[in-house]
Structure 1
C-alpha cells in the first residue's frame, strides 16, 4: 500500500489522505483525470507521477513549475518512506508513506484525525489538544487556495465511539451525547462569506478558500468554540478560533465544575500556567469566562506524541532519544525552579509532543492537571510513575523517575511494566533486563528509577549532565 497525505501549508498537519493498494502509477495534478486532484494555480494539469518499480517507488516530475524535495528541484528520484514533496516552489506539500507505515498513516489521518474535516457524533483528538509551539500565531486550517476533495467514510465515522486509537493524551472519549454545556446539541448561526456558502453542506469545519469557520457550537468571550477535541477525567479541551488563529480552550468537566474546590484548583492552575514561559511548554494565553465556568486559552501544538511515533516508526535511535530527553530535562529544570516548584506528576510518551513544524526545541511537554489532587485514586500512569505517587506523595524526583521509564520505552518500544520484577533489590524497575541498553544507560536509568526518592538524581540538570556524557561516548 502507498498513502499520500496532503499537509496544511502553514501548520504542516494532515488535511487529506489517499491510499492505493493496486495501482502501479499514481498521478497528481489539477486535471480531473488524476488519481489525486489538487486545485492550485501553481500545480500543473499533470504535475507529478509516482511509479512502482521492482525495487520500490519513484517520483517523476511532469510539471512546468517543478517538484521539490528538501528544497531542491527534482526530476526523477526513488521514494523513501515518510518523504515530503512540494508541488512547485510555493505549492502544496504531500507526504508519502509506503508499506506497513502506509497502512498506519491511512488509519491515523482519516476522518476526524485532522482539523478541517467532517463533524460526526464521536470526537477524537486530531493532533494534540494542548499548548503552544513557539509563540507564533497559527492561521486556521485550510487557508490555502487549493481544495482537497471529500474523503470516503471510514470506521472512525461510525456512531459508536472508537474503542481504541493510536495513544494520545486524554483520548478515551465517550462521545458528545452527555455534553452539559450551555449549547449542547446546538449550533451558532455564523455570518458566512460567498466562498463559504459553497461548502456549508459539506462535512468541513473550515472554508477551504478563506479559512473561516463554517460552523461553531458556542462562544466563550471572543472565541468561537468549534468542536470538542478530547476529554480526560477532569477536563474538556475544545478547538477554539479567533481572528484566523486556532486555540485550545480547556475547562472543567461539568461533574467537577459543580464543586468549589475543583473550581479553585482550576483557577490556581491557570494562574500559575499563565506565568510560565518556556519554548518546551505550551503557550498559555489567558482565561475567559463562559456562561457558567471559566476557560483557559492555550495556543495549539501541532504534532504527534512520542507513543504515536514509536507505534508508527518503531524504536527511537539513541542519537534521537537523548536529545529529546535533554530537551525534557531543560523544561523540568525550569519548572522545578519556580517558586513554589511546578511538578507535572504524570510524564509519559503520550503527553510529549514532537512538533510537526521544524523548530527548536522539537519536544513540548503537555498534560498539566492540578485537579489530580481531587482524585480518590492515584491518577499517575502505572509503569511510568514513581512508586511514592501511589501514596499521593510527589517531589521533583518523582518527575525525574518518569524520565528513566520513558527513555527505556523509546529505546525498546516496550511498556516499562515489562521490566518491573521481584528480584535482588525487591520489586522495582530493572533496566538491565531491557534489550540493547548500554551499561552507562543502565546505570543512569537505575538511578533515575530507584524506589527511594533520596537515592535518585537530585535535579534535572544532573540527569542532563549524565546523558550528555553518554551522548559524547556514542558520538
Structure 2
C-alpha cells in the first residue's frame, strides 16, 4: 500500500486510496505538473510479462478519446510495479448506487446502457480491438452531469489475432465475468458483451446474476429478469438474457446489436437457449471431473435402458410361445345319449397323453362318475 503524501515519479502526490481489486489498487493523487486530481492504478502483480503487456496497452489507451471513457494521461514503472494515470472521475459508482437505492428504473438503465455501450463499442473498434475485461457496476462512475463513465483499465488487453488470455493478466469478477474468462479460453468482444449484460441485469434486478461457470456445470440457473423486475419490458429482458448466454456464439454479434435490442423488442424477439460451455472454458480440474461424471452417467443410462428392454422383450416372446403351443379347443357335438367319459391313461412319465406341454403334471388320472341314462 502506498502511504498518503508519497510522491510517485516526481510528479504525482498520493492523497488517498480509492479502492482495490484483484489486479491492483486505485489511488487519488494530485498532479503537481498540471495542478489537477488524477486517478492512479498500481498493479499488484509485478511480473515481467504483466509489465510488458501493461506498457503496450497503456500506449494504445493513451490515444483514446471518448466522452464516456477517462483519458489515459501517463504510465510509468517503478520498482517493477507498473502504474497507469487516468482522469479522476468524481462521484459515486453504480455498485454503491445499487447498495443505497436498490433496483434502478428502466429509463435510467437504458441511458447508462447507451453511454457505456458506446464506450465499449469504441474500444472494440480500435485496431487491434481493446477488450476491457472488467465491466461491472463498480467500474462505472457517474460524473457531475450524470454521465456514466467506464473506468479501470487495469486488466484491459489488446487482441491480436486469436490470442489466448495471458495467465499473468487473467482476472475476473464472479457474476460479471463470462465463463471463457475463468480458464484458458480466448476472450474477446463478446466477453465484454456478457459483462455489460450482467451489469444491466444487476442494475434492474438489484442483484448480480448467477455465476457463469456454475450455470455451465448445472450447479446454478439464471433467474429470469422478469421475475425480479416485472416492470422491465419483455424485449429488454430477452436482450439482456441473450447477452448472458454461456456460449459466446449464442450472444449477439456485437455490443451495438445488444444495445439496439434493448430498445427495439422486434430486433431480437427471442432468446437462444444457452448450451453447456466447452470443458476448456472452466477450470481444468472441474472440467475433467464434469466430463468423467457425464460419461459415467450416460453409460449408466444406456445400460439401464438395455436391461429394461431385454426384460420386457423376454416376457413378450414367452407369451407368444405359450399361445402357439396351447392345444386347440375341442369341438363339441350334440350326442343323443350321454356316454361314459374317462381321461386318457397317464403315460409312463406321469403326464397325460397329448398334454405334454402343460405347465403341470398329473401323477394318476382321477376317477370320474359314470353317467347312466335315466329310464
Report the TM-score when normalising by structure 2: 0.60
- Match for residue 429 of structure 1 among 204, 222, 226: 222
The reply to whether residue 358 of structure 1 matches residue 152 of structure 2 is no
Alignment counterpart, residue 307 of structure 1, candidates 95, 104, 107: 95
In the alignment, does 2:193 pair up with 1:400? yes
| Separation in 1, partners of 2:253, 2:58 | 28
Distance 1:380 1:274 in 2: 24
Task: Name the SS for the 1:443 alignment partner.
Answer: helix
Structure 1 stretches of 5 or more lacking a match? 1-175, 185-214
Alignment match of 1:440 (pick from 211, 214, 235): 235
Secondary structure at the counterpart of residue 130 of structure 2: coil
Q: 1:212 aligns to what?
A: none
CA offsets, 1:162-196, max 9 Å, x none? xxxxxxxxxxxxxx4xx5xxxx6xxxxxxxxxxxx
RMSD: 3.2
Find 1:454's aligned residue among 231, 243, 249: 249
Q: Which has the higher helix share?
A: 2
Q: 172, 181, 185: which is aligned to 1:380?
A: 172
Q: 1:335 aligns with which of 123, 148, 152?
A: 123
| Larger CA Rg, structure 1 vs 2 | 2
When residues 384 and 292 of structure 1 are mapped into structure 2, their CA distance, relative to the original with a 3 A threshold, is closer
Offset from partner CA, 1:54-78 (integer Å, 9 cap, x none):
xxxxxxxxxxxxxxxxxxxxxxxxx
Which structure is higher in strand share? 1
In the alignment, what sits opposite 1:238?
27
- State the alpha-carbon separation in 2 of the partners of residues 299 and 464 from structure 1: 26
Higher RCO structure (Cα 8 Å, ≥6 apart): 1
Query: Which of 382, 395, 411 is the matching residue for 2:204?
Result: 411
CA distance in 2, matches of 1:429, 1:451: 10
Q: TM-score, normalising length from structure 1?
A: 0.48
Q: Structure 1, residues 237-278: CA drift from partner, whole Å, max 9, x if none?
A: 33221253111223333xx33x32121122112111102111
CA drift of 1:454 comes to 1.4
Asked if residue 389 in structure 1 is aligned to residue 181 in structure 2, the reply is: yes
The whole-number CA distance in structure 1 between the counterparts of 2:247 and 2:204 is: 24
User: 1:16 maps to which residue?
Assistant: none
Q: 2:104 aligns with which of 290, 309, 316?
A: 316
Q: For the residues of structure 1 that align with 2:23 and 2:173, how far apart are their CA atoms?
A: 15
Count of aligned residue pairs for this structure pair: 254
Q: CA separation in 2, counterparts of 1:336 and 1:221? A: 34
Where in structure 2 are there 5+ consecutive unaligned residues? 158-164, 267-375
